[in-house]
Chains A and B, each alone.
Chain A
């Protein structure tokens, strides 16, 4: 197969994906509680993960320290196969819930002596949201000053559904555009306003949760909405006033909800407990008498539906809401049930049983990892609190995420001598490579090194499209059945005899992968698989941005490898390495931030000129 054919296949495949949603969309974005079972997004992207990729293929990444595929991209030992080993799909449902887009799913269980857990179901609705939903809590909207409601505004970019049903909506004067009001909330229980504005957007506004839904559904509600100013950000509106509290924004349609049914006592109808990524309004829709309570230590709201069912929603994090529905048959036990909601560890990556599967649900809430140690989603929170403090810089939110599943094994040394100045990195592969492997991986010049008494070592040069972009590595097939791939980053040249001699002095370590007993080399870090990535964007008020990334692994230093030139600087009171990317006009700085954390700070061209000043003067540790 030649390149042209591969490219044609690639184009054809992506063309097909572009026009096909693998997940059958639930046509109507109904409120949470409709338990649709969706077909699997059967893409089978990687049946090869269980071993089709050979160790040799892996070596293409690991060995040679080419180890590193680009700035910020670590591939010291980026294996695909180990992810499959040792894992069994003990539950293989005939259909899978659509969990695409879900990274970490919070989960709760109902701890009551007479609560019996049932099946887990998942709802996924068409994510093709053409707009955003925003929710506010509003106090005193309407005649009752103590009322508490939720105001939701969908900002949409099309006029679908307009004009609304004239049987329910009445056109009324608006300060701009055209507006229709449904002030007789029979059926939905929610006063609603539709406002086609002169700016081309259409606002669908709903108000729920008043003690008496009829109150506030008239002109006062409309006037309140008309007074809201549109924000500078297209999809966000300015907080209307002091009565209101902004709760969140999300794409207009709900995305994923996962729920578990419980039977409680002898009640014929029971409890539904789960989580949803939908907005607050959607979950509380149709309820009245909303009051604020606490669930598992989280801020929560409780409302009652016309049929007596109680709905409780709580804010789990910025993305997820907890959801509890209690049948009217259990009305006398609502407080007890609410108090029994308990957070548990869960891992969305496990196949989840769904309503139609014949596999009984045994314990979907506590996957094995949670009982044997940290789950893959565990993240560290003890990262250094580094920030750029300047009137010219607006810091963004700190985002903490699990690190990608990389099996990293290697080491980093700081090397200093008269002729050597830089970082020596090694990646360890658990298979032996040979010259054929290296050629396959794109190394054009492979020279066996003489004087190697244990195994075979090669100086490998190549992998670039031209000599200027070539990399240099020493690949050493060891008699212990492993291969070491050494790379270099630093101000001095890597292809010197001194560097080669230093590398060839390495021996297998005990407790560490590799030992270099040489005073020129100081171990900077033993590379461990990262667990956590912390990132924060700093935006220059006059333009440009900088991104600070912290990882609890020396993998962070990989960005140095492809740098054309590296200079040593002081950053954060420590030794760091600066890379000037002349082609992009960017500046990158790397350093060991201490306590197992490694940092990368990248200034784009808009802030690159200020990099020196910001690093020297404005980069501070807020945690001392």
Chain B
């Protein structure tokens, strides 16, 4: 986490360029990460890391926002993978305790947590942040057709979980 590496040969980015990019995209990056991990605090850290990764490459990227999307999604997925069991333990241990979220939000977050990472990312980014299939596909590293499958399955599972 927060492993920051200066890459030899990286193109020089003027501070102003990156400052502008940072300010313009930080909130969006946090929002994307919230969609992925369901935790604002974690999302802010992931977004920070992703933005930091864009820094050295900003001048050479044709689509830095697209790169940022991929970076956020990759970091969110990695985080979910490495914290899945830890999260389950925490949530089991705290089940039934008062929550800062409403009951409905609580229930939806539980349902989202039951989804495979890619389904979760696809459905949240599609319907909460209005990403296109192509944008999601690029970020997830799959075909747009696969995104539709992921979203379809995710909605079916959410429906089932919420209906219980």
Cβ-defined contact, B99 with A234, below 8 A: no
List chain A residues, Cβ under 8 A from B146.
70, 469, 562
Chain B at the A interface: SS class: helix
A157 at the interface (CB under 8 A from B): yes
Point out the residues of chain A lying under 8 angstroms from B84, CB to CB: 83, 404-405
| Chain B min CB distance to A231 (Å) | 7
In angstroms, Cα B143 to Cα A469, docked, is 9
Which residues of B lie under 8 Å from residue A157 when comparing CB positions? 19, 22-23
Chain B positions within 8 Å of A103 at CB level: 1, 82-83, 86
Complex CA distance for A23 and B100, rounded to whole angstroms: 8
Q: Is B110 in contact with A75, judged by CB distance below 8 angstroms?
A: no
Cβ-defined partner of A376 (8 Å) among B85, B92, B104, B123:
B85
Q: A6-B159, A100-B42 are in contact. Are A69 and B119 (CB under 8 A)?
A: yes
Question: Given the interface contacts A12-B105, A17-B40, does A73 sit within 8 Å of B116 by beta carbon?
Answer: yes
| A463 is an interface residue with CB less than 8 A from chain B | yes
Set of chain A residues within 8 Å of B116, measured between Cβ atoms: 61, 69, 73, 75, 78
Q: Pick the contact of A442 from B55, B83, B85, B152 — CB < 8 Å?
A: B152
Chain B residue numbers with a CB within 8 Å of A233 are: 4, 6, 10, 13, 52, 55-56
Shortest beta-carbon distance from B161 to chain A in Å: 7
Which of A42, A92, A318, A584 is the one whose CB lies under 8 Å from B138?
A: A584
Q: Roughly how many angstroms separate A75 CA and B150 CA in the complex, as a whole number?
A: 13
Docked complex: B33-81 residues within 8 A CB-CB of A = 34-35, 38-42, 44-45, 48, 52, 55-57, 60-61, 78, 81
Residue among A12, A42, A89, A129 making CB contact with B89, cutoff 8 Å: A89
CB contacts under 8 Å to B, within A1-34, are: 1-3, 6-7, 9-24
Which segment, of A299-307, A392-400, A520-528, faces chain B? A392-400
- Contacts A16-B102, A70-B150, A71-B141 given; indicate if A1 touches B3 (C-beta within 8 A): no
Contact status B60-A45, CB under 8 Å = no
Q: Determine whether A177 belongs to the interface, using a CB cutoff of 8 Å to chain B.
A: no
Is the Cβ of B48 less than 8 Å from the Cβ of A14? Answer: no
Residues 141-162 of B contacting A (Cβ, < 8 Å): 141-146, 148-150, 152-153, 155-162
- Mask for B12-31, Cβ within 8 A of A = 1, else 0? 11011011001100000011
A contact residues around B145 at 8 Å (CB): 464-466, 468-469
Q: How far does the Cβ of A195 sit from chain B's closest Cβ, in whole Å?
A: 14
Contact across chains for A13 and B109 when beta carbons are under 8 A apart: yes
B4 contacts which chain A residues (CB < 8 A)? 233, 235-236, 249
Closest-CB distance, A133 to chain B (whole angstroms): 10
User: Is A152 in contact with chain B by the CB < 8 A criterion?
Assistant: no
Q: Is the CB of B158 within 8 A of A6?
A: yes
Q: How far is the CA of A48 from the CA of B112 in the complex (A)?
A: 11
Query: Is the CB–CB distance between B153 and A9 below 8 Å?
Result: no
- The answer to whether A581 has its CB under 8 Å from any CB of chain B is yes
Question: A23 to chain B: which residues have CB within 8 Å?
Answer: 41
Distance in angstroms from A562 CB to nearest chain B CB is 6
Minimal Cβ-Cβ distance residue in A for B92: A89
- A residues near B3, Cβ cutoff 8 Å: 318-319, 397, 399
Cα(A199)–Cα(B7), bound, Å: 23
A10-B45 Cα distance, complex, nearest whole Å: 23
Which of A49-57, A474-482, A501-509 has 4 or more CB atoms under 8 Å from chain B?
Answer: A49-57
| Beta-carbon contact of B149 and A463 below 8 Å | yes
Q: B89 contacts which chain A residues (CB < 8 A)?
A: 87, 89, 349-351
A side interface size, CB within 8 A: 111
Residue of B nearest to A230 (CB): B15
The docked-state distance in angstroms from the alpha carbon of A7 to that of B154 is 11
Alpha-carbon distance between A46 and B113 when the two chains are bound, in angstroms: 6
61-89 of chain A: CB within 8 A of chain B: 61, 69-73, 75, 78, 80, 83-84, 87, 89
How many angstroms between the C-alpha atoms of A376 and B106 in the bound complex?
A: 28
Q: How far is the CA of A12 from the CA of B101 in the complex (A)?
A: 11
A218 contacts partner chain B, Cβ-Cβ < 8 Å: no
**When the two chains form their complex, are residues A465 and B152 in contact, meaning their CB atoms are under 8 A apart?**
yes
Contact check, A101 vs B161: say whether CB atoms are below 8 A apart: no
User: Which residue from chain A places its CB closest to the CB of B145 in the assembled complex?
Assistant: A469
Q: Which of A61, A129, A251 has the most CB of B within 10 A?
A: A251
A24 CB to nearest chain B CB (Å): 8
* Contact indicator A53/B34 (Cβ below 8 Å): no
Contact B81 A404 (CB under 8 A): yes
Contact B6 A22 (CB under 8 A): no
Return chain A residues, CB-CB under 8 Å to B22.
Answer: 157, 234
Asked if B88 and A84 sit within 8 Å, CB to CB, the answer is yes
Q: A583–B95 contact, CB under 8 A?
A: no
In the complex, what residues of B have CB within 8 A of residue A343's CB?
Answer: none
Given A22-B100, A463-B149, the answer on whether A402 and B82 have CB atoms closer than 8 Å is yes
Docked pose: A73 CA to B146 CA in angstroms: 12
| A371 close to chain B: CB less than 8 A | no
Given A10-B108, A12-B104, A201-B19: A18 touches B5 (CB 8 Å cut-off): no
- Beyond A13-B109, A199-B16, A236-B6, is A42–B86 a contact (Cβ under 8 Å)? no
Closest Cβ of chain A to B157, distance in Å, is: 8
Complex contacts, B44 vs chain A, CB 8 Å: 127-129
B141 — which chain A residues lie within 8 A by C-beta? Answer: 70-72, 581, 584, 586, 602
- Measured CB to CB, the closest approach of chain A to B118, in angstroms, equals 5
Question: A6 — which chain B residues lie within 8 A by C-beta?
Answer: 155, 158-159, 162
| CB <8 Å contact, B104 and A43 | no
User: Closest approach, in angstroms, between the C-beta of B108 and any C-beta of chain A?
Assistant: 4
Q: How far is the CA of A61 from the CA of B116 in the complex (A)?
A: 9
**Minimal Cβ-Cβ distance residue in B for A393:** B9
Give CA–CA (A397, B150) in the complex, Å.
Answer: 32
Contact of A232 among B10, B102, B109 (CB under 8 A): B10
* A87 partner residues in chain B, CB cutoff 8 A: 89
Cβ of A471 to closest chain B Cβ, rounded Å: 9
| A250 CA to B88 CA, complexed, in Å | 27
**Residues of chain B within 8 A of A2, CB atoms compared:** 159
Is the CB of A96 closer than 8 A to any CB of chain B?
A: yes
Instruction: Indicate which residue in B1, B82, B85 contacts A83 across the interface (CB closer than 8 Å).
Output: B85
Q: Chain B residues with Cβ under 8 A from A442's Cβ?
A: 149, 152-153, 156
Closest chain A CB from B117 CB (angstroms):
7
Closest 4 CB pairs of A and B: A45-B113, A13-B108, A469-B145, A404-B81
- Given A46-B113, A49-B114, A61-B116; 9 other pairs, CB 8 A cutoff: A13-B105, A14-B34, A22-B39, A40-B90, A69-B118, A70-B140, A128-B41, A233-B6, A318-B3
Cross-chain pairs A/B with CB under 8 angstroms, 14 sampled:
A1-B159, A9-B162, A14-B34, A17-B38, A42-B94, A43-B101, A44-B91, A48-B114, A101-B41, A129-B48, A201-B15, A232-B13, A234-B18, A584-B143
The residues of A with any CB-CB pair to B shorter than 8 Å are: 1-3, 6-7, 9-24, 40-50, 52-53, 57, 60-61, 69-73, 75, 78, 80, 83-84, 87, 89, 92-93, 96, 99-103, 127-129, 132, 157, 199-201, 230-236, 249-251, 255, 318-319, 348-351, 376, 394, 396-397, 399, 401-405, 442, 463-466, 468-469, 533, 539, 541-543, 562, 564, 581, 583-584, 586, 602
